[in-house]
Amino acid sequence: MSSNPEDIFSQLESQNAESKGPKKPKTSARQKYNRRKVWLSHALDQMEIAIADLLSQGGAVYKRAEIDTLKKAIEEFRETTELKTPEPSAPTQEEIDGFTDMLSNLKPWEPPSKEELAALYASLELAAENDDDAPDDGAPSET
């Protein structure tokens, strides 16, 4: 390589251009627009659900005026942009089968035995704290 900085820079630039190759866009502008439109619609839908849930709880709501203003703004935005709530895609047969298998194999939860807990603590290299071993600071027990 020559000692001239401009030559060195141009050589490095040409090497980088050869190794990187031409840039290929991952998606078109229309695909990106549609994807962002779906995301925005989903976010607005979730906000509407949260507002409805908050207002359905009854009782006094802090800053109700701001919540109502936000609800109206979302409705107006949807009307002016004609942005619809996205339809959820139908589950695939594989998802349905997995969910059905999960439901058919449900068993009632049973707490682990003391032996299982001791083995778990031993595997984590922690000592299980018995009630007798618990530090006694004079405070009543929380259990």
Q: Which 3 state secondary structure label does DSSP give 118?
A: helix
Over residues 18-74, the pLDDT tens digits come to: 556 555 666 788 888 888 888 898 899 999 999 988 888 877 777 888 888 999 999
Q: What is the model's pLDDT at position 126?
A: 64
CA–CA dist 132, 121 (Å, integer): 17
Mean pLDDT of 77-92: 84
CA–CA dist 98, 105 (Å, integer): 11
Q: Which 3 state secondary structure label does DSSP give 100?
A: helix
CA–CA dist 143, 111 (Å, integer): 17
Q: Which 3 state secondary structure label does DSSP give 95?
A: helix
Parse the chain into domains and list their residue ranges: 25-89
CA–CA dist 97, 91 (Å, integer): 10
pLDDT at 127 over 60: no
The more confidently predicted of residues 29 and 131 is: 29
Q: Which 3 state secondary structure label does DSSP give 89?
A: coil
| Signed CA dihedral, 119, 120, 122, 127: sign only | negative
Q: What is the model's pLDDT at position 83?
A: 83
CA–CA dist 121, 114 (Å, integer): 10
Over residues 94-114, the pLDDT tens digits come to: 999 988 888 888 888 888 899
Q: What is the model's pLDDT at position 3?
A: 67
- Quickly state the pLDDT bin for 93 (edges 50, 70, 90): very high
